[in-house]
Structure 1
Amino acid sequence: MCGIAGFVAPSLHDGETPEVMTSMLSLIRHRGPDEAGYYLDDGIAMGTARLSIVDLATGAQPMADPTDRYWICFNGELYNHIELREELRGLGRRFRTRSDTEVFLQAWAQWGPACLPRFNGAFAAAIRDVRSGDLFLARDRYGKRPLFYVDREGCGAQGAGNGEFLFASEMKAFRAFPGFRFELDPHELASTFAVWTPLPDRTPFKHIRQLPMGCCLTVRDGRAVLGDYAELELDVPPFTGSEREAAALVRDALRESVEMRLRSDVEVGVYLSGGLDSSIVTRLTTDLSSHEVRTFSVEFDDAVFDESSSQQVVASHLGTRHSSIAVSSADIAANFRSAVYHAEVPAFRAAFVPMFLLSRHARDAGIKVILSGEGADEAFLGYSLFRETLLRASWSELSDDERMARLGSLHPELSHFGPANRARMKGLFEQFAVERLPGLFSHELRYQNGRFAARLLKRHDEPFADLMALTDATPGYAALSPVRKAQWLEFKTLLPGYLLSTQGERMSLAHGVENRCPFLDPTVVRAAASINLRFDDGLDEKAILKKAFRGELPESSLTRRKQPYRAPGAAVFKQQQPDYLELLLSATELEKIGGIDPVFARKLVKKIMATPTDEISTKEDQAFVYLLSTAVLNQQFVLGQEIPGESTAPADFKVNTIIDQRNSRGSTPAGRGLPSAGGI
């Protein structure tokens, strides 16, 4: 796991290039604190801040293939690198390291872009072709690792000059490029607020885009060309075997996935939430690991959010060495700004802050790699959203008694789905039993909260227009069933845009911890897609997973209803009154946030501060956290106000490896491994 960054900038003065490259890497050093290196050639620079996981001794980057034609900066892991290495050796390829980085590069040299579908991994990569002059970027099929870029138009619009292209694992690295300035994009903010996450190729900032999941991009002659190499495989032929055979298929696929993700030259731990998914990952890890397994979890002082008792039951049953961190409202308030800085996008809830603290806790315990249960709910239809969709889609076919019974089983953890409110919820479901937003039927109830948050913006475009355009342009989407559409939307929006990023990878890598997700293995996802709708009637969530692991987990893990991971929201900031709350309480500060409607924002803030906590609606809570996180982002990125220790480059940062090929074509092979004379 690493952070990568670079640029194509023919107009940048030669003397500036090393300093700019070093500064970009220094701003993402938290992703890879073990070593750093960069490659320079005429008009191009790219580098890596490395977190050493596989091949600690000889896996340094940037790395060249044996011909020195291709150079790579790589962020992530190829879990099937052992199998690929053997295949490539059979084709005559020779390896100089044990690293998966070299496997990626040799696969590229052998097969070109056709290598990408062969990869089982979590990655973002940049490859330089010295012969053609091309720069090639690629991102994994589920969007586990981030990769952002600024194209020629974006750079030119800010005075950096035409023909320039920037890329990085985190947007903050662009601060180091001369002339670049951050500016919030009101149109993208409205879409983000409404959908709960930026769309696959978007960010909250003008001129900055992210490479979508399963996509690649070639920069050639100053022009960036986007392509894709992998699509979601959800509409697959149904499994034809028995339920017992289906359970065995799922168990074997998950076992193989965990086994691959335990490939590491450092110890691997597990995040244990106490729910079914993380318990399964822990069970398989204890089976496959050669040493005592360490598990980590979050505890809350508020019983509404705390799952520590379930975590202890599972840890005791499986014999793990368990460690938890207690997180209070004061902790969330104290670390919110730092967590937002690493997330780089507005957030609709504060649940990512405890994950920021948990990753720091794991790293302090000496852990650099963590397995977690992300992706299970998307692959195995675990969310109540899917049951809601099934209910609404069949609404006209049910009797009133059946409707009321099904409503009562949807959200036992939420008071507004309780008996006292069931008649009101029945009326709401009746209103949304027919599609209103083309292609978005499954998410229309959820998106009502997002539509409210979008009112924070001065402009009032249809905030779902871009998402509807995306689904409309996706081949085969219209023919999917309502549940399959819901699954597609989750895989394309909330999973990569929030769960794997804001709440996942970005919080882990803030402290140099790599997260791995066994449920997001192509074989596992395909198996789940072939089985789900045959053996799941929508009433017993993840029934096939429970059958696959019955007898191997505490019975409570199998019978307990899903409790979504949650944390306190607006109540935290009301209670704690952190100094940065002034960003919302001051009319002057609100006016500084580009695109925000200060009148509506002030009304919302005033209402939140005056309303008893238990009377704040979900949509108001989400809108408030969106507003506060946007205000913090504006302060940090647009206005450039520093958070000491977070947004400044570390004074002791050093570059270990410099490869400088500028004006030296045909000379010594790249000067590989030359030590830097110093840092910044």
Structure 2
Amino acid sequence: MNCRSRRCPRIVCGIVAAVGEIDVQLCRNMLARIKHRGPDDTGEIRRGNVWLGHQRLSIMDVDGGSQPMTDTEEKTYLVANGEIYNHRHIREDLGHELFETGSDSEAALHALIVDGPVGLARLRGMFALAFMTADGEFLVARDSLGVKPLYWVRRDDVTLFASELRAFEPADRPLVESFPPGHCWTPNGGLVRFADAVPARVRPARRAEQPGVWDEALVKSVREAVVTAVENRMMSDVGIGVFLSGGLDSAIVAAVAAEYAKRHDQPLPTFAVGAPGSSDLAAARVVAEYLGTEHHEIVMTKEAAQAALPKAVRAIEHYDPSLVRSSVPNLLLAEYAAKRVHAVLTGEGADELFAGYSYYHEAPFTDPDALQAELVRTVEELHHLNLQRCDRTTMAFGMEARVPFLDRDVIELALSIPPEHKMLAPGRVEKQLLRDAFEGWVPDEILNRGKEQFGDGSGAKDVLEAAVRTSPDLPEGISLRSDEEAGFYSIWHSSFEGIRPETTLGHFATT
């Protein structure tokens, strides 16, 4: 199962791992339940009391790109989901002679071989991985933001890991927990943090001498950080597109991606979804025409949205109303786009970094320190909400979503900006600094377009509220915020009975 080819691709996949008293059939059953994350190939290996499994989507190098990946002497093994964006730098640091493939996952393998768990600090990207040696050493890790999902069950006889909740047997579901981002775990060392979602050195941000007045140097630094993050996520041997909602954030991503595509003489497909006549479809069309992209529109009918509702709840493994509303059109869009590209860029994270949501501008967040604390908190909680939707709706069809605004350098820069610069004032709207940074890159009408939730702009909100007007009976001890949420919870509970609400909702669970 070596990954020997020089053209081994980045891997879109799902992983399962186990350490302890191994039940191979149980592990295989778990892996089979997440086959949608990588329907083209299944790989597994057992060494002693450790088992690793991998579901792969073959993008290139079908014969040589399988995982588990191993070193030349077959003493170490790795399964990984996601991307290591700085893999070329790691190759240079460790020495190209160590590497046999072009895979970014191999950079993680050798970083761990050379440095042990400390090697995780080298990795910049989105990942969930499991690593073992032939003599039984074992490590699991998840990226600092939790862009890539990972769950675990700790039993007395075995510890189990998987990319999605659905992988676990019903008997294990009450024990399932979300594996914490930025942590690694070993049987001997336990759970150890290796990276923070928001590095401590950017908190609290410095205070602005002149709130709302920024110089061209700051505007340029924001623009350059975002451009670099988008371009790093464009490097691939496969087709890449952009989910274009018609809002500011996805328009910026599309604009940078379009410039990159033109320089490299490659097409840029963009994809938009909405109800007939929805504002999102109209705005996305304006952006696509301005940038000259290969644009695709999915017109979401009421019937299609309601039919997709239970599929969306099961796909995202979640029942938060705002998340479900946006997941339904996202799922329909992903199903269409996955037939044309293997990866898409999205605008996730910009609102949390630059204070795009309306509630950020209401009490108590009109105080700069309170606003800064809330921005940090919401970035740290993204793995429970938007990132969960982002991963699941795309991976339901074996397609990867990439989130350039959540690049580590962008996060560090954005959260080091004085919070006063993100607050509303006469003549300024939300995310004014970001708008200034990309003036001329997107149409003026989009640059000045106000924030609209994706579920609202796409037209999904009204359709889905009408679909769940009657509140179902809820399990004892569960109290929810609305009939709509109760309806979504009922769908979720029917598929994930036994899973505790806090496992998927984290801080937002209501019991």
- Same-fold call, TM cutoff 0.5: yes
For residues 312-368 of structure 1, give each alpha carbon's deviation from its aligned partner in whole angstroms, at most 9, with x where no partner exists: 11100000011011113322221111212222232223221111111001012x211
| Residue equivalent to 2:463 | 572
Question: How big is the shift at 1:308?
Answer: 1.4
Residues 328 and 460, structure 2, Cα contact 8 Å, conserved in 1: no
TM-score (norm 1): 0.65
**Which residue, out of 106, 116, 123, partners 1:102?**
106
| Residue equivalent to 2:21 | 10
- CA distance 1:573–1:83, change in 2 (3 Å): closer
Question: How big is the shift at 1:275?
Answer: 1.2
**Which residue, out of 193, 201, 206, partners 2:174?**
206
For residues 403-432 of structure 1, give each alpha carbon's deviation from its aligned partner in whole angstroms, at most 9, with x where no partner exists: xxxxxxxxxxxxxxxxxxxxxxxxxxxxxx
Q: In 2, Cα distance between the equivalents of 1:543 and 1:596?
A: 41
The one-letter code sitting in structure 2 at the alignment partner of 1:572 is V
Q: 2:311 aligned with 1:338, yes or no?
A: yes
Question: How big is the shift at 1:512?
Answer: 0.8
Q: In 1, Cα distance between the equivalents of 2:18 and 2:31?
A: 12
SS in 1 for 2:299: strand
| Residue equivalent to 2:232 | 260
| Residue equivalent to 2:507 | none
| Residue equivalent to 2:137 | 134
Structure 2 unaligned residues grouped into runs of 5+: 1-11, 500-511
Residues 20 and 158, structure 2, Cα contact 8 Å, conserved in 1: yes
SS in 2 for 1:500: helix
Q: 2:375 aligned with 1:484, yes or no?
A: no
The one-letter code sitting in structure 2 at the alignment partner of 1:497 is H
| Residue equivalent to 1:30 | 36
- CA distance 1:243–1:325, change in 2 (3 Å): same
| Residue equivalent to 1:63 | 69
Residues 349 and 403, structure 2, Cα contact 8 Å, conserved in 1: yes
Residues 22 and 51, structure 2, Cα contact 8 Å, conserved in 1: no
Q: 2:290 aligned with 1:284, yes or no?
A: no
Question: Which aligned pairs between 1:287-436 and structure 2 lie closer than 5 A?
Answer: 287-289=259-261, 290=264, 291-301=266-276, 303=278, 306-349=279-322, 350-364=325-339, 366-389=340-363, 392-393=366-367
Residues 354 and 422, structure 2, Cα contact 8 Å, conserved in 1: no
Question: How big is the shift at 1:392?
Answer: 4.7
Question: How big is the shift at 1:51?
Answer: 2.2
**Which residue, out of 374, 396, 405, partners 1:519?**
405
SS in 1 for 2:496: helix
Question: How big is the shift at 1:49?
Answer: 0.3
Q: 2:486 aligned with 1:627, yes or no?
A: yes
Residues 205 and 372, structure 2, Cα contact 8 Å, conserved in 1: no
The one-letter code sitting in structure 1 at the alignment partner of 2:270 is T
Q: In 2, Cα distance between the equivalents of 1:25 and 1:314?
A: 40
Aligned CA RMSD, in angstroms, stands at: 2.6
The one-letter code sitting in structure 2 at the alignment partner of 1:528 is A
Q: In 2, Cα distance between the equivalents of 1:117 and 1:281?
A: 27
| Residue equivalent to 2:433 | 544
Q: Percent sequence identity over matched residues?
A: 32
The one-letter code sitting in structure 1 at the alignment partner of 2:149 is P
**Which residue, out of 144, 150, 153, partners 1:150?**
153
Higher RCO structure, 1 or 2 (CA under 8 Å, sep 6+): 1
Q: In 2, Cα distance between the equivalents of 1:558 and 1:629?
A: 34
Q: In 2, Cα distance between the equivalents of 1:372 and 1:134?
A: 37
Structure 1 unaligned residues grouped into runs of 5+: 153-161, 183-204, 395-480, 602-618, 641-680
Q: In 1, Cα distance between the equivalents of 2:492 and 2:214?
A: 52
SS in 2 for 1:298: strand
Question: How big is the shift at 1:393?
Answer: 3.6
Q: In 2, Cα distance between the equivalents of 1:207 and 1:377?
A: 33
Q: 2:157 aligned with 1:163, yes or no?
A: yes
| Residue equivalent to 1:225 | 190
Q: In 1, Cα distance between the equivalents of 2:437 and 2:218?
A: 8
Q: In 1, Cα distance between the equivalents of 2:113 and 2:204?
A: 32
Residues 233 and 402, structure 2, Cα contact 8 Å, conserved in 1: yes
Q: In 2, Cα distance between the equivalents of 1:570 and 1:370?
A: 24
| Residue equivalent to 1:441 | none
For residues 148-167 of structure 1, give each alpha carbon's deviation from its aligned partner in whole angstroms, at most 9, with x where no partner exists: 00002xxxxxxxxx321111
- CA distance 1:105–1:489, change in 2 (3 Å): same
Question: How big is the shift at 1:574?
Answer: 6.8
Q: In 2, Cα distance between the equivalents of 1:126 and 1:308?
A: 41
Q: In 1, Cα distance between the equivalents of 2:440 and 2:463?
A: 40
**Which residue, out of 444, 452, 457, partners 1:563?**
452
For residues 55-75 of structure 1, give each alpha carbon's deviation from its aligned partner in whole angstroms, at most 9, with x where no partner exists: 655331001123433211100
Q: In 2, Cα distance between the equivalents of 1:95 and 1:11?
A: 31
| Residue equivalent to 1:504 | 390
Q: In 2, Cα distance between the equivalents of 1:287 and 1:391?
A: 37
The one-letter code sitting in structure 2 at the alignment partner of 1:259 is E
Question: How big is the shift at 1:31?
Answer: 0.6
The one-letter code sitting in structure 1 at the alignment partner of 2:372 is R
SS in 2 for 1:295: strand
| Residue equivalent to 2:4 | none
The one-letter code sitting in structure 1 at the alignment partner of 2:140 is L
The one-letter code sitting in structure 1 at the alignment partner of 2:17 is G
Question: How big is the shift at 1:595?
Answer: 3.6
- CA distance 1:302–1:321, change in 2 (3 Å): closer
Residues 3 and 32, structure 1, Cα contact 8 Å, conserved in 2: yes
Question: How big is the shift at 1:573?
Answer: 5.5
